[in-house]
Chains A and B, each alone.
Chain A
Amino acid sequence: AQSVTQPDIHITVSEGASLELRCNYSYGATPYLFWYVQSPGQGLQLLLKYFSGDTLVQGIKGFEAEFKRSQSSFNLRKPSVHWSDAAEYFCAVGARGRSSGDKLTFGTGTRLAVRP
């Protein structure tokens, strides 16, 4: 069964500082990988996704993530955080190869706070 671990429950960074949110997954093959962001009281917005190809993927709002197969990781990064980035971030994994569409398995999330 697939699983996702986000080891950091809560992270605080200063505005303008760089950010890295960690995500490790467990899956028997190369998975689909996603990062979603959720602002308070809002739904889930897709930041970026990895399906295949280049292991460094670019997303919206200046975010990027790197798939590292050897480490089973898909860490999210941003070079300079803005106050509006304060939100909860979820890493998710989807299985490949199924014919009927697949569930996503989410991590427990990392809540990001931004200091002015």
Chain B
Amino acid sequence: EPEVTQTPSHQVTQMGQEVILRCVPISNHLYFYWYRQILGQKVEFLVSFYNNEISEKSEIFDDQFSVERPDGSNFTLKIRSTKLEDSAMYFCASTQLAGNGEQFFGPGTRLTVL
């Protein structure tokens, strides 16, 4: 069964460093998302992406964040200068159709900022 994959599973970085989190969505999906979950808290929407542009972003998704689909398979989230409060689990998700609503989630990348 097709699945969303994410790498790395765990990333440790120093405050102020740039990180890139990678995701490979399901191959025939067209809509892509990033969510994050701070330890012990709920899952929060960061950004949605369709047709090579951002569809919607939350207030969390400030200028330090960017997303890209550099080729036909990868979907990346970049944090330019990490802060301690960026430590969280980051989930990538994808879906096939607009309005379908069912999003398939990857296993997540745990980001630890020291």
**A and B associate in one complex:** yes
Determine whether the beta carbon of A90 is less than 8 Å from that of B98: no
Cβ of A74 to closest chain B Cβ, rounded Å: 14
Determine whether the beta carbon of A98 is less than 8 Å from that of B98: yes
Interface of chain A residues 93 through 116 with chain B (CB within 8 A)? 94, 96-109
Determine whether the beta carbon of B91 is less than 8 Å from that of A49: no
Q: Please tell me if A51 contacts chain B, counting CB pairs below 8 Å.
A: yes
Also in contact, A43 and B105, with CB within 8 A (given A100-B31, A103-B56): yes
Interface residues on B, range: 20 to 34
Total contacts A-B at CB 8 Å: 73
Also in contact, A51 and B41, with CB within 8 A (given A100-B56, A103-B33): no
Q: Please tell me if A71 contacts chain B, counting CB pairs below 8 Å.
A: no
Interface size on A, residues (CB 8 A): 27
Determine whether the beta carbon of A103 is less than 8 Å from that of B45: yes
Select the residue from B41, B101, B104 with max chain A CB neighbours within 10 A: B101
Determine whether the beta carbon of B42 is less than 8 Å from that of A90: yes
Determine whether the beta carbon of B42 is less than 8 Å from that of A49: no
CB-CB under 8 A from A43, the residues of chain B are: 91, 105-108
| A42 CA / B110 CA spacing, docked (Å) | 10
Determine whether the beta carbon of A108 is less than 8 Å from that of B31: no
Interface of chain A residues 38 through 52 with chain B (CB within 8 A)? 42-46, 49, 51
Also in contact, A44 and B43, with CB within 8 A (given A100-B31, A101-B55): yes
